[in-house]
Chains A and B, each alone.
Chain A
Amino acid sequence: MPKCTVNGIEVEVKDGATVIEAFMKTNESIAHYCWHPGLSVAGVCRMCMVEIEGNPRLQIACNTPVQDGMVVYNNSEKVKEAVEWTLKFHLINHPLDCPICDQAGECGLQEYYMSHGSYDSEMAERKVKKHKVVDLGEKVVLDTERCILCSRCVRFTDEVTKTNELGIFNRGDRSEIGTFENRPLNNKYSLNTVDICPVGALTSKDFRFRQRVWFLKSFETICQGCSAGCNVQAYYNENGFYRVKPVPNEEVNGHWMCDEGRDVYKFANKEHRLVSGIKKEDSGLSHMAPGAAAVQLREDLSDTKKAALVLTGQYTTEEYLKFVDSFTKNYGNEVYHWINNPKTFDDFDGILLRGDKNPNTVGLLRVLEGKGIKSSWADLEEKLNSGQIEHLVVAGPENLAVFPDLEEKVTLFGQAQKLTVLTPVKSKFYESADYQIPMKSFMEKDGTFVNHKGIEQKLGRGPIVVSQALTLLDLSMILDGSDFISVNSASMGGSL
Chain B
Amino acid sequence: MSIVKKENSLSKWYLPGILKGLGITFRNLIKNLTSRDEMLTLNYPEEKYEYGPRFKGNHVLTVKKDGSLRCTACMLCATNCPADCITIVAAEHDDPSVEKYPINYEIDILRCVFCGFCEEACPVDAIRMGPEWQVPGVNGASFINNISELAYRPSLGGGIKTVLDDEERIKGGI
Contacts and interface: CB of A to CB of B under 8 A. Distances in A.
Interface of A: 96, 98-100, 104, 125-127, 129, 132-133, 208-210, 212, 214-215
Interface string B106-126: 000000000000000001100
B100 A100 contact: yes
27 contacts: A98-B74, A98-B123, A99-B72, A99-B74, A99-B76, A99-B123, A100-B72, A100-B73, A100-B74, A100-B99, A100-B100, A104-B74, A125-B173, A126-B173, A129-B170, A132-B96, A132-B97, A133-B99, A208-B92, A209-B90, A209-B91, A209-B92, A209-B100, A210-B90, A212-B74, A214-B79, A215-B75
- Interface SS of B by simple majority: loop
Given A99-B123, A126-B173, A209 B96 contact: no
B174 interface: yes
A307 B82 CA distance: 58
Interface in B28-84: 72-76, 79
Contacts of B100: 100, 209
A148 to B, nearest CB: 18
Contacts of A210: 90
Nearest to A128: B173
A209 B73 contact: yes
A127 B173 contact: yes
Contacts of A127: 173
A424 to B, nearest CB: 27
From B76, B123, B173, name the one whose CB has the most chain A CB atoms within 10 angstroms.
B173
Contacts of A129: 170
A212 B174 contact: no
Interface of B: 72-76, 79, 90-92, 96-97, 99-100, 123-124, 170, 173-174
A98 B121 CA distance: 13
Given A99-B72, A132-B96, 13 more contacts: A96-B174, A99-B74, A100-B73, A100-B74, A100-B99, A104-B74, A125-B173, A129-B170, A208-B92, A209-B73, A209-B91, A209-B100, A212-B74
Contacts of A214: 79
Contacts of B92: 208-209
Nearest to A97: B99
Give the most central of A126, A210, A212, A215: most B CB within 10 Å. Answer: A212
Interface centre among A100, A125, A132, A133 (most CB of B within 10 A): A100
B99 A132 contact: yes
Nearest to A210: B90
Contacts of A98: 74, 123
B173 A212 contact: no
A145 to B, nearest CB: 11
Contacts of B170: 129
Contacts of B97: 132
Nearest to B103: A209
A103 to B, nearest CB: 12
B40 to A, nearest CB: 46
A126 B74 CA distance: 24
A212 B72 CA distance: 13
A192 B91 CA distance: 23
Nearest to B171: A126
Contacts of A100: 72-74, 99-100
Nearest to A133: B96
A291 B51 CA distance: 61
> Which residue, A96, A104, A129, A133, has most C-beta atoms of chain B within 10 A?
A133
Nearest to A125: B173
Closest 3 CB pairs of A and B: A99-B74, A133-B96, A100-B100
A125 B171 CA distance: 11
Contacts of A125: 173
B75 A212 contact: yes
A129 B96 CA distance: 13
A126 B170 CA distance: 9
A458 B97 CA distance: 45
Contacts of A208: 92
B79 A212 contact: yes
Contacts of B99: 100, 132-133
Contacts of B76: 99
B160 to A, nearest CB: 19
Q: Which of B72, B76, B100 has most chain A Cβ within 10 Å? A: B100
Nearest to B75: A212
A43 B157 CA distance: 57
Contacts of B72: 99-100
B81 to A, nearest CB: 12
Nearest to B74: A99
A129 B170 CA distance: 9
A104 B123 CA distance: 13
B29 to A, nearest CB: 58
A212 B79 CA distance: 9
A214 B96 CA distance: 25
Nearest to B122: A99
A132 to B, nearest CB: 5
A134 B75 CA distance: 24
Contacts of A212: 74-75, 79
A104 B72 CA distance: 13
B79 to A, nearest CB: 7
Contacts of A99: 72, 74, 76, 123-124
B131 to A, nearest CB: 26
Contacts of A215: 75, 79
A181 B72 CA distance: 29
A132 B91 CA distance: 16
Nearest to A129: B170
A127 B91 CA distance: 27
A133 B96 CA distance: 6
